[in-house]
Amino acid sequence: MRGFLALRYAFAGGLLLLISGLSSAATEHFTSDIPLLKVEHLSPEYWLAKQPNAAELLLTPSQIAQRNAQTFAQQAEMTPIADIPLQFSQAELLKVIEQVSAIPQSPRFFADGKPLQESDWAPIQQQVNRAGVAENTSTQFALVTKRSALLAMPTTLRVFNDSMSLDLNRLQETALFVGEPVAVLHQSANGHWSLVQNYHYSGWVATEALALAPRQQVLAYAEQAPFLVVTGARAFSNYVPNQPQISELQLDMGTRLPLLSAAAVGHNLYGQNPHASYIVQLPTRNAKGQLQLVPALLARNQDVHIGYLPYSTKHIVRQAFKYLGQRYGWGYDYNGVDCTGFLVDIFRTFGLLMPRNSGQQGYGEFGQNVRFTEQSSHNTKLQAIKQAQIGDFIYRPGHVMLYLGESAGEPFVIHAVFDLAYVNAAGEFYRGTLNSVSVTPLAPLYLSAEQSYLDRIYAIKSLR
So what's the pLDDT on residue 264?
87
Q: For the chain, give the secondary structure using H, E and C.
A: CHHHHHHHHHHHHHHHHHHHHHHHHHHHCCCCCCCCCCHHHHCHHHHHCCCCCCCCEEECHHHHHHHHHHHHHHCCCCCCHHHCCCEEEHHHHHHHHHHHHCCCCCCCECCCCCECCHHHHHHHHHHHCHHHCCCEEECEEEEECCCEEEECCCCCCCCECCCCCCCCCCCEEEEECCCCEEEEEEECCCCCEEEEECCCCEEEEEHHHEEEECHHHHHHHHHCCCEEEECCCEEECCCCCCCCCCCCCEEECCCEEEECCHHHCCCCECCECHHHEEEEEEEEECCCCEEEEEEEEEECCCCEEECCCCEEHHHHHHHHHCCCCCEECHHHHHHCECHHHHHHHHHHCCCCCCCCCHHHHHCCCCCEEEECCCCCCHHHHHHHHHCCCCCCEEEECCEEEEEEEEECCEEEEEEEEEEEEEECCCCCEEEEEEEEEEEEECCCEEEECCEEHHHHCCEEEECC
Angle, helices 313-321/339-348, rounded to nearest 10 degrees: 130
CA gyration radius for the chain?
25
Is the pLDDT at 14 greater than 70, yes or no? no
d(CA 416, CA 346): 12
Structural domains of the chain, with CATH: 33-61+312-462 (3.90.1720.10), 227-306 (2.30.30.40)
pTM to 2 decimal places: 0.93
Q: What confidence score (pLDDT) does residue 399 get?
A: 98
Those residues with Cβ within 8 angstroms of residue 7's Cβ, 6 or more apart along the chain or in another chain: none
Task: Name the more confident of 9 and 216.
Answer: 216
The pLDDT value recorded for residue 462 is 98
- Is the pLDDT confidence value at 74 over 90? yes
Cα–Cα distances in angstroms (integers) from residue 78 to residues 98, 141, 178, 317, in the given order: 18, 17, 20, 26
**202 contacts 99 by C-beta, under 8 angstroms:** yes
Query: Is the confidence at residue 23, as pLDDT, over 70?
Result: no
- The tens digit of pLDDT for each residue in 217-275 reads 999 999 999 999 999 999 999 999 999 999 999 999 999 999 999 898 999 999 999 99
Percent residues over pLDDT 90 in the chain: 93
Segment 95-119, tens digit of pLDDT:
999 999 999 999 999 999 999 999 9
Q: How confident is the model at residue 18 (pLDDT cuts 50, 70, 90)?
A: very low
pLDDT above 80: residue 2: no
368-402: buried (b, 16+ CB within 10 Å) or exposed (e) per residue? eebebeeeeeeeebbebbeebbbbbbbbbeebbbb
pLDDT at 186 over 70: yes
CA-CA distance, 384 to 458, in Å (whole number)?
11
Q: Do residues 142 and 172 touch, judged by C-beta distance below 8 A?
A: no
Q: Quick one: pLDDT at residue 5? A: 35
Which of 13-27, 133-147, 281-295, 331-345 is predicted least confidently? 13-27
Q: What is the pLDDT of residues 304-326, one digit of tens each?
A: 999 999 999 999 999 999 999 99
Mean pLDDT across 46-64:
97
* Measured distance CA(82)–CA(56) in Å, rounded: 33
